[in-house]
A = this chain, B = another copy of it.
């Protein structure tokens, strides 16, 4: 098992991924219980089953157990067993400020949402955010993929 330490931000300027080629990610959940979420993900020709534990205070550390599974299994799990709606997004990788940023451009029920995540070696690592980065949303549960299934971005009240 591993522990993820990452920070998540909204992307202010989506043109940062213009012209880049991304990887389509399709993912669904077998459990959306935040203390023991179970995710099926198809990423190109690879597929994974991932269990995540509760997020600790501050929201940057989560227990994570990930196993590669056969692609046909993952497709059948998504088609016949996983909860709906499912997450459909394209992931781009951008190097900036000494970090690799993963930028997710959502489609489907979460179209319009673009977030950037950076994985860090420790919880105290300082992040220098590039100028295309907007508000930090680390620990904001609305942006967890698991919650974007039950309460997708298109349904949010964005007037506040």
Contact = CB atoms under 8 A, between A and B. Distances in A.
Interface in A64-85: 65, 67, 69, 72-73, 76-77, 80-83
A67 B65 contact: no
Total copies of the chain:
2
A78 to B, nearest CB: 11
Prevailing SS type, chain A contact patch: mixed
Contacts of A30: 30-31, 33, 36, 38, 51
A159 interface: no
Contacts of A36: 30-31, 81-83
A30 B34 CA distance: 11
A65 to B, nearest CB: 5
A83 B31 CA distance: 12
18 contacts: A1-B72, A1-B76, A30-B30, A30-B31, A30-B36, A30-B38, A31-B36, A31-B38, A36-B82, A38-B38, A49-B49, A49-B51, A51-B77, A53-B80, A63-B81, A65-B69, A65-B73, A67-B67
Interface of A: 1, 30-31, 33, 35-36, 38, 49, 51, 53, 63, 65, 67, 69, 72-73, 76-77, 80-83
